[in-house]
């Protein structure tokens, strides 16, 4: 069955970005001139997923508004004949079939994904974290879908991280396969200490999941941080083999956790530098700025 549904959890509190996220979702923070969430939806659509379910919560109305029409703005731009901006405003409205469900309390990523059960039904689906941007030149999600097409299993994206960072991620125990960059995940642990970590392969924010994940999530009790962890349900699938077990695609490209302040700044600098319209001027300013040791 081809995968057409994408689930985007965006109901977290974004505490690492306070006070900016007190009244505004972190997924709406702009990366140059588009909110982070739009890059994520564009990535899903680029990978062939046309049905997007966003998991939202209180304070998250801006997310729905961004993907809806703004008729007042449209008529002002039309009157001015500003076709370029009108196209940009239309783009987010017509990207995909958008659906929303609320997670009443942010009880963890696993809890958020479980809210998608009614919409997804019993079919495989993709999950893209709403604050995690993968560089648009990468084709990670498409590759994960290909791996799933060849061998039905739940697929996680893995990235090597510095051992000092393993306590921030779900970490995988893996076995290599004949397929370059594809591994079988035999176990997973959420946020281990550097000493207890079985590897430095961290689970990052893209998943292709078999529907068996819903059964596993129903059974999952609160774990690390008192939250229902998606990693714990995936560990269940990896060790029981339910739904074909868990495979991993090792990703070596660029990604940014825009919920982390430093990563967010890096995302803006990279995206701006690579833009055709802003890049040349921005890069030359950046060069001068660094030359002046930040005093410019």
Give residues in contact with ligand UTP (CB under 6 A): 9-16, 55, 103, 106-109, 111-112, 129-131, 259
By beta-carbon proximity to ligand UTP, the closer residue of 145 and 228 is 228
Tell me whether strands 34-35 and 30-31 are parallel, antiparallel or unpaired: antiparallel
Task: Report the nearest approach of ligand UTP to the CB of residue 57 (Å).
Answer: 7
Q: How far is the CB of 269 from ligand UTP (least distance, A)?
A: 21
Our measurement of the distance from residue 189's CA atom to the centroid of its chain's CA atoms, rounded to an integer in Å, reads: 20
Residue 178 contacts by C-beta under 8 Å, 6 or more apart in sequence?
none
> Which residue lies nearer to ligand UTP by CB, 103 or 210?
103
Nearer to ligand UTP, 106 or 245 (CB): 106
Alpha-carbon distance 126 to 287, whole Å? 39
Which residues are CB-contacts of 156 (< 8 A; sequence separation ≥ 6)? 172, 185, 203, 206, 207, 234, 246, 247, 248, 249
The nearest distance, CB 210 to ligand UTP, in angstroms, is 20
CB of residue 240 to ligand UTP, shortest distance in Å: 25
d(CA 205, CA 199): 18
CA gap 140, 134 in Å, rounded:
8
Residue closer to ligand UTP (CB basis): 15 or 240: 15
Q: Which is nearer to ligand UTP, 105 or 149 (CB)?
A: 105
Question: Residue 71 class from Cβ within 10 Å (0-12 exposed, 13-18 middle, 19+ buried)?
Answer: exposed
Angle at 88 between CA 83 and CA 92, to 5 degrees: 140
The least distance separating ligand UTP from the CB of residue 48, rounded to whole angstroms, comes to 22
Whether omega for the bond prior to residue 243 falls within 30 degrees of 0, making it cis, is no
Q: Which is nearer to ligand UTP, 200 or 229 (CB)?
A: 229
Place of tokens 């292709």: 208
Q: For the CB of residue 247, give the shortest distance to ligand UTP in the complex, in Å.
A: 22
Give which of 172, 169, 163, 261 is closest to 224, Cα–Cα: 169
* Nearer Cβ to ligand UTP (112/197): 112
Smallest distance from ligand UTP to CB 127, Å: 9
| Pick 63 or 174: Cβ nearer ligand UTP | 63
DSSP 125-153: EEEE-TTEEE-TT--HHHHHHHHHHHS-S
Could you tell me the smallest distance in angstroms from the CB atom of residue 131 to ligand UTP?
A: 4
Residue nearest to ligand UTP (CB): 12
């Amino acid at each position: 069955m081809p995968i057409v549904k994408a689930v985007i959890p965006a109901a977290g509190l974004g505490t690492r970005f306070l006070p900016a996220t007190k009244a505004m979702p972190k997924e709406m923070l702009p990366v140059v001139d588009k909110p982070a969430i739009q890059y994520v939806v564009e990535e899903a659509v680029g990978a062939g997923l046309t049905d997007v379910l966003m998991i939202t919560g209180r304070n998250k109305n801006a997310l729905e508004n961004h993907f809806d029409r703004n008729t007042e703005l449209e008529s002002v731009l039309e009157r001015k004949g500003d076709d370029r901006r009108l196209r940009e405003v239309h783009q987010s409205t017509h990207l995909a079939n958008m659906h929303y469900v609320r997670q009443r309390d942010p009880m963890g990523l696993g809890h958020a994904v479980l809210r998608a059960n009614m919409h997804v039904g019993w079919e495989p689906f993709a999950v893209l974290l709403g604050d995690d941007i993968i560089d648009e030149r990468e084709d990670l999600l498409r590759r994960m879908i290909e791996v799933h097409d060849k061998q039905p299993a739940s697929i996680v994206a893995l990235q090597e991280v510095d051992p000092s960072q393993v306590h921030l991620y779900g970490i995988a125990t893996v076995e290599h396969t004949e397929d370059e960059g594809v591994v079988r995940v035999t176990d997973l642990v959420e946020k281990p200490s550097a000493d207890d970590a079985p590897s430095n392969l961290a689970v990052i924010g893209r998943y292709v999941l078999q529907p068996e994940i819903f059964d596993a999530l129903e059974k999952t009790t609160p774990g690390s941080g008192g939250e229902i962890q998606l990693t714990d349900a995936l560990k269940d699938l990896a060790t029981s083999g339910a739904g074909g077990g868990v495979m991993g695609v090792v990703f070596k490209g660029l990604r940014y956790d825009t919920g982390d302040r430093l990563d967010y700044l890096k995302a803006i600098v990279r995206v701006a530098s690579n833009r055709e319209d802003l890049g040349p001027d921005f890069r030359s300013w950046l060069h001068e700025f660094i030359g002046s040791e930040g005093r410019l």
